[in-house]
Structure 1
Amino acid sequence: MGTSASRHGDLATNEYLEKFASKEHISSNEPFWNRFLSFSFTPPSTSLEHHALDERIDATCHLLLANNLQSGNFGSLLHVFLSRASELLASAQTDNNMFSWQTYNALFILRCVTKFFVENLKEEDLVRHVTCGTVTGTRREDENVNRLEVFLDSLIEIVVDVPVKDFTYPLHLEAVNCLLVLLSVQMFSQRPASKSCIYRSLMQGRYSIHAPLLVKTLLQHFVSQEKAPPSLYRSSGGGSVVIGLATELWNILTFGMARVTTSAPPLPSDGVTVMKPSEVSESPLANQSLLLLLVLSNHCTSDKNLHNPYRQALFSCSNSQDACNEATPTRAAATFKLDLGRLYITLCHIVSSDQTTLLLYLLVHRNRHVKTYIMARSDIELLVVPILKTLYHAPDSNSHHIYMSLIILLILSEDDLFNRTVHETILKGVTWYTERSISEISLGGLLVLVVIRTIQYNMLKMRDKYLHTNCLAALANMSSQFRSLHPYVSQRLVSLFETLARKYSRLADQIQQHDSEGSPPVTVLSMDDTEQPSDLVQDLGVLEEVLHMVLEIINSCLSHQLAHNPNLIYTLLYKKHVFEPFRTHPAFQDIVQNIDAVILYFSNRLDQVQKDLSVSEVLTTIQHGALQWPKERLRKFPDLKFKYVEEDQPEDFFIPYVWSLVCQSSGLYWNPANIKLFAAD
């Protein structure tokens, strides 16, 4: 710290750090702060690098914690930051980066210390450290104003009001990171966010009326995916060391954006693990803005006495390119407009990430403008195919990501236009689907294949009943619009029933054997799991529901689109023996009768022509027969329509999920030993 570089070994005796952390009060007007904040450094960009920094400032932070309530030096630094921040708009507009530079340095130190407080103090004690001392001499001078709110307001003003330029980009990033750190109190508490004074300040404080502006800004950062300036993660040379950490060490850690080509030799690590260049986000402000948006919009959602203006703003924004879509005066303060075309393109490009998938879920589930816009796109495959790839590579994804991807498909499948469009959209060269080489397939056919594969993966590995239910619900919603199913898709659909039928028969036989012999069976449903008789009965009930749903899906397709699916009829004829055991089963016989009627009709048509027909001749016969198919032969069943509904307590799922994403992908580090919200690695 200061204007001269400190060596790594000097941490404990750095005079600037010693004075800042001591019991001696440092007035915000003292020249000390100009020296303390006049340093250049390469900021950490990964959790590994932040962890390394935390370890080296730990002793100083403990000393400050012990002395701050007496010295008030954290408050003095906060005052200095607020004073510098008040000049930011002018400095940004005149390209004078002095205020931006010192404000950034002050904010970086505030964030490091605040994170230490968050990890080690109860929130009320954290607030005491933030608010101790007085704030005077600034435009915010007001003894009745909560210091915490002033701090939060200033951070939001930086994000919203300061133009993003090369020299202000680091400051924007630091402001967003600081907001994430303050909001991370939720990870270290078992109280709901609605009881947190930090969250309540953001939801109800002075700046909450401008929530739509903050949400719009964060979304714009996400949409623009602006790359970090080359100087952000590259040492500028000279200057002293942030918080006493030696310049040599920062250079060794090779923080960030100075990319290493694949042919370059590995950088020296001096015993410190060096991150892979690909692990650094090229657009960190976009990434952090998205994470902050997810945090703001997923907390304080269930308390009727606490309104979340950020959530409302996200769910009500509309398309700026739609001239007819004007906000009504009564809602103007809670809404804003965004170019949904640019948002859509960005979502398509990076929808495979957890946090982008979660944003897409929130938008299609709760924002009618966004959902309507997406449904009207003629290039829906740009969005759907990456989601299918996520499901296809399920072993490489976490269960939450699989679940959210599937729910998005379920929500989209509620729309008949979507269900028609996907079967009219033809894809070529789907190279990532490796089970079988498919030169050409409809988007709808690929969707059916991947969802069926997800069901089979779930049966083998995850065995999540809700995942089964949502997979089948998506297929059921689409089934009445299945058209021109690919031969392989038809085979996989019938094979799914065949696989489930074998498993069902095996279970039923084992339960019957157990009942007749009175001896407990040893049963294996998957290769690793042995189950008790009570588990078998439960599994049999689940399988019965799944089998019934698969039959309903096949029946729905035959009832509505028989003439357009000769390949499915061909497969049913080829696999007709699969349905025989269920013709008299009371749980299945009503639907199986419909499938039997189709099989019998087309079998008779084929018997009327010569034997030893080729595949193409059989298909031709089926197509001709379909033209004369008497629709009244099939018993009518209610249309299959399922609608996704969130659980009664969505916060129980979304809050831990959001914070796990922040820990995994923000590049920040929190001590996992202290986290109470979820089991951290």
Structure 2
Amino acid sequence: MAQDSSLVGLVVRKLLLSFIIRPKVPFNRAPYPIFYDESQSSVLQRVGSAAANIVLLPFSYLVSSSGGGSRNPIADSSLDVLLVLIHYHKCAVSEDYSSIENKKSSASDLLLKENPHFSDNPYCKALEHAIDCELDRVDVEGNAHSGQHIKLPFASLFDTLGTCLTDETAVLLLYSLLQGNSSFLEYVLVRTDMDTLLMPILEALYNAPTRTANQIYMLLIVCLILSQDSSFNASIHKLILTGVPWYKERLLHQTSLGSLMVVILIRTVQYNLSKLRDVYLHTTCLATLANMAPHIHRLSAYASQRLVSLFDMLSRKYNKLADRRDNKLHIAKGSSIEGNSFVEDVSTELQIYTDFLRLVLEIINAILTYALPRNPEVVYAVMHRQEVFQPYKSHPRFHELLENIYTVLDFFNTRMDAQRVDGDWSVDEVLQVIIVNCRSWRGDGMKMFTQLRFMYEQESHPEEFFIPYVWQLVLSHCGFTFNTEAINLFPVDLHSGKLENGVVESTLLNGDFDKAEYQLDP
């Protein structure tokens, strides 16, 4: 068993090293030095390296000796194989005996009952327990690491992921590492060059129309996982970008990484509202913004304007739904069942947008409550568009949050009125008054609400999403050829009917990939 565990760890390590190193294998290369490490020279490891050379040998003709470009057939195929292995779940059937009572007699019988379940995946466990090769066997906190844990160069893995996130498979690997491997997540969160990872993620979200819905979904979950850490939320606002060349709508010069992330998340909400109309994407974007809100520092003017505009956009959608519901109620009072069904559907959607509006108000409220002195541009944006909040002052779901917003508005409006200026105020003049009075802001009259904190939690059966998704990616671009008719993604359902020859039929249509379910717990 120990040997099997070592072999599994070796396979995972070799595949990841191949992805990281992106080797170019000449035809006359020696047998196993590709992955040979002098510090690890066991027979099993040498056999593994030799086997890797044999497997990779056919690719030597495909790899250019001059290099260039991020695509590498060996690295790409290694990643494909790794994803198939770590997301494979074998269905096992356990037998246990349960006593049932027969109502027609007092006798009890022991009934054999089959309980199908998915067995643990050793490759997934090996990836989840991988540690940084830079760490000693006992770290500075005295935590002993098992000798069975595979060691990986986290620094190289981090950098490689940063250059490959245009590929869906790399995004899926990043998700698997952040979600399953706490050591790698901790390593990522202490990196000071978070732009290495975040910039390609944000660029991919910016180009959402050219991405698949699943890729957008995975990228947003990665952002949500990272936003669960307060140090991450603080550090991204300290990292200043000299420019963002791929952002075309506006010249973003000397903006913080945090401000860019806010802009892109809001832009993704807008895209989703017009194209995908996916509630889960909306929720994930807003949950990430809510996690970031209390830690926002010097949010840019553009990001602040987009945040208030987000509330305005959602409120207009909310008002349209409310009007449709009211009109339908007026026309179809007590009439058709279809009319009642339509009203119920609109009411359900209206409730969803009510929740979205409240969440945006909580985001704005969190910034004003916990970070107002550091965010004069947010105050300016709220003052500039204060009329958008007026219709909701008496709304039962919003009035408490709006009381705080109007406390801020009253404070700064009063100070603006106290400084009479001939003619109209310029933007710079208004902003200067706000900056000066931010120093004297003490938060008097503000109601303190519990900080929202959303956590990503993987559902109990994630394989229902990931297994089809992985195979969809692998079959679309893998260098290997698979017999698609022989691929059996899931075990037979217990309630499926049997065919004449005794084989149970199981059908999976291409494209039928449900989203990975998750829970957002504030």
The TM-score normalised by the length of structure 1 is: 0.59
Query: SS of 1:322's equivalent?
Result: coil
**In the TM superposition, what is the alpha-carbon distance from 1:337 to its structure 2 partner?**
1.2
Match of 1:570 in 2: 380
One-letter amino acid matched to 2:190: A
**In the TM superposition, what is the alpha-carbon distance from 1:351 to its structure 2 partner?**
1.9
Measure the CA separation in 2 of the matches of 1:301 and 1:637.
46
**In the TM superposition, what is the alpha-carbon distance from 1:632 to its structure 2 partner?**
3.0
Note closer, same or farther for the CA distance 1:409–1:513 as it changes in structure 2 (3 Å cut): same
Note closer, same or farther for the CA distance 1:318–1:256 as it changes in structure 2 (3 Å cut): closer
Measure the CA separation in 1 of the matches of 2:179 and 2:91.
17
Measure the CA separation in 1 of the matches of 2:90 and 2:206.
32
Match of 1:583 in 2: 393
Q: Residues 541-560 of structure 1: matches in 2 within 5 Å?
A: 541-560=351-370
Q: Which one of the candidate residues 645, 654, 659 is aligned to 2:466? A: 654
Q: Which one of the candidate residues 471, 474, 480 is aligned to 2:285? A: 471
Match of 2:44 in 1: none
Match of 2:134 in 1: 321
- Pair 1:285-2:74 in alignment: yes
Match of 1:592 in 2: 402
Q: Residues 475-514 of structure 1: matches in 2 within 5 Å?
A: 475-514=289-328
One-letter amino acid matched to 2:21: S
Query: SS of 1:599's equivalent?
Result: helix
Q: Which one of the candidate residues 225, 229, 238 is aligned to 2:26? A: 229
Q: Is the 8 A contact 1:357 1:405 kept in 2?
A: yes
Measure the CA separation in 2 of the matches of 1:341 and 1:520.
66
Q: Residues 31-70 of structure 1: matches in 2 within 5 Å?
A: none
**In the TM superposition, what is the alpha-carbon distance from 1:332 to its structure 2 partner?**
2.3
Q: Is the 8 A contact 2:206 2:268 kept in 1?
A: yes
Measure the CA separation in 2 of the matches of 1:342 and 1:296.
22
Match of 1:663 in 2: 475
Q: Is the 8 A contact 2:329 2:343 kept in 1?
A: no
Q: Is the 8 A contact 2:24 2:63 kept in 1?
A: no
Query: SS of 1:424's equivalent?
Result: coil
Match of 1:181 in 2: none
Note closer, same or farther for the CA distance 1:596–1:230 as it changes in structure 2 (3 Å cut): farther
Match of 2:500 in 1: none
Greater relative contact order, per chain length (Cα 8 Å cut-off, separation 6+): 1
Q: Residues 107-146 of structure 1: matches in 2 within 5 Å?
A: none
- Pair 1:640-2:452 in alignment: yes
Measure the CA separation in 1 of the matches of 2:368 and 2:90.
43
Q: Is the 8 A contact 2:63 2:73 kept in 1?
A: no
Measure the CA separation in 2 of the matches of 1:615 and 1:640.
32
Note closer, same or farther for the CA distance 1:386–1:258 as it changes in structure 2 (3 Å cut): closer
Note closer, same or farther for the CA distance 1:231–1:330 as it changes in structure 2 (3 Å cut): closer
Match of 1:615 in 2: 427
Query: SS of 1:440's equivalent?
Result: strand
Q: Is the 8 A contact 1:501 1:547 kept in 2?
A: yes
Q: Which one of the candidate residues 295, 309, 329 is aligned to 2:122? A: 309
For structure 1, the residue ranges without an aligned partner over 5 or more in a row are 1-203, 233-254, 261-276, 522-530
**In the TM superposition, what is the alpha-carbon distance from 1:440 to its structure 2 partner?**
1.9
Measure the CA separation in 2 of the matches of 1:676 and 1:616.
64
Measure the CA separation in 2 of the matches of 1:565 and 1:328.
41
CA root-mean-square deviation = 2.8
Deviation digits for residues 82-127 of structure 1 (CA, Å, limit 9, x no counterpart):
xxxxxxxxxxxxxxxxxxxxxxxxxxxxxxxxxxxxxxxxxxxxxx
Measure the CA separation in 2 of the matches of 1:349 and 1:471.
24
Q: Is the 8 A contact 1:387 1:405 kept in 2?
A: yes
Note closer, same or farther for the CA distance 1:336–1:258 as it changes in structure 2 (3 Å cut): closer
Q: Is the 8 A contact 1:301 1:651 kept in 2?
A: no
**In the TM superposition, what is the alpha-carbon distance from 1:230 to its structure 2 partner?**
7.8
Query: SS of 1:332's equivalent?
Result: coil
Q: Which one of the candidate residues 191, 204, 207 is aligned to 1:393? A: 207
Q: Residues 48-447 of structure 1: matches in 2 within 5 Å?
A: 207-229=4-26, 256-257=62-63, 282-300=71-89, 306-323=119-136, 325=138, 331-333=146-148, 335-447=149-261
Query: SS of 1:538's equivalent?
Result: helix
Q: Which one of the candidate residues 266, 273, 277 is aligned to 1:452? A: 266
Measure the CA separation in 1 of the matches of 2:254 and 2:333.
53
Match of 1:34 in 2: none
One-letter amino acid matched to 2:196: L
Measure the CA separation in 2 of the matches of 1:302 and 1:372.
32
For structure 2, the residue ranges without an aligned partner over 5 or more in a row are 30-60, 93-116, 336-340, 490-507, 512-522
One-letter amino acid matched to 1:223: I
Measure the CA separation in 2 of the matches of 1:510 and 1:294.
47
Note closer, same or farther for the CA distance 1:585–1:414 as it changes in structure 2 (3 Å cut): same
**In the TM superposition, what is the alpha-carbon distance from 1:299 to its structure 2 partner?**
1.5
One-letter amino acid matched to 1:299: Y
Deviation digits for residues 319-377 of structure 1 (CA, Å, limit 9, x no counterpart):
111236469888322x1211111111111111221111111111111111111111111
**In the TM superposition, what is the alpha-carbon distance from 1:672 to its structure 2 partner?**
5.8
Note closer, same or farther for the CA distance 1:669–1:426 as it changes in structure 2 (3 Å cut): same
Measure the CA separation in 1 of the matches of 2:90 and 2:153.
26
Query: SS of 1:494's equivalent?
Result: helix
One-letter amino acid matched to 1:662: V
**In the TM superposition, what is the alpha-carbon distance from 1:676 to its structure 2 partner?**
6.7
**In the TM superposition, what is the alpha-carbon distance from 1:567 to its structure 2 partner?**
0.8
One-letter amino acid matched to 2:136: A
Query: SS of 1:220's equivalent?
Result: helix
Match of 2:515 in 1: none
**In the TM superposition, what is the alpha-carbon distance from 1:516 to its structure 2 partner?**
2.2
Deviation digits for residues 637-668 of structure 1 (CA, Å, limit 9, x no counterpart):
00111110012210000000111111112133
Measure the CA separation in 2 of the matches of 1:440 and 1:329.
44
Note closer, same or farther for the CA distance 1:519–1:205 as it changes in structure 2 (3 Å cut): farther
**In the TM superposition, what is the alpha-carbon distance from 1:208 to its structure 2 partner?**
4.6
Query: SS of 2:241's equivalent?
Result: strand
**In the TM superposition, what is the alpha-carbon distance from 1:518 to its structure 2 partner?**
2.1
Deviation digits for residues 54-109 of structure 1 (CA, Å, limit 9, x no counterpart):
xxxxxxxxxxxxxxxxxxxxxxxxxxxxxxxxxxxxxxxxxxxxxxxxxxxxxxxx
Measure the CA separation in 2 of the matches of 1:501 and 1:671.
51
Measure the CA separation in 2 of the matches of 1:645 and 1:301.
22
Q: Is the 8 A contact 2:89 2:118 kept in 1?
A: no
Note closer, same or farther for the CA distance 1:626–1:301 as it changes in structure 2 (3 Å cut): farther
What fraction of aligned residue pairs are identical, expressed as a percent? 38
- Equivalences, count: 429
Q: Is the 8 A contact 1:315 1:363 kept in 2?
A: yes
Query: SS of 2:389's equivalent?
Result: helix
Runs of 4+ in structure 1 displaced over 6 angstroms? 327-330, 673-676
Note closer, same or farther for the CA distance 1:502–1:675 as it changes in structure 2 (3 Å cut): same
One-letter amino acid matched to 2:85: L
Q: Is the 8 A contact 1:227 1:284 kept in 2?
A: no
Q: Is the 8 A contact 2:77 2:480 kept in 1?
A: no
Q: Is the 8 A contact 1:520 1:533 kept in 2?
A: no
Q: Is the 8 A contact 1:228 1:283 kept in 2?
A: no
Query: SS of 1:493's equivalent?
Result: helix
Query: SS of 2:286's equivalent?
Result: helix
Deviation digits for residues 241-271 of structure 1 (CA, Å, limit 9, x no counterpart):
xxxxxxxxxxxxxx855699xxxxxxxxxxx
One-letter amino acid matched to 1:657: Y
Measure the CA separation in 2 of the matches of 1:583 and 1:667.
59
Deviation digits for residues 368-397 of structure 1 (CA, Å, limit 9, x no counterpart):
111111111110111001011111111111
Note closer, same or farther for the CA distance 1:282–1:450 as it changes in structure 2 (3 Å cut): closer
**In the TM superposition, what is the alpha-carbon distance from 1:621 to its structure 2 partner?**
0.5
One-letter amino acid matched to 1:309: P
One-letter amino acid matched to 2:425: L
Match of 2:504 in 1: none
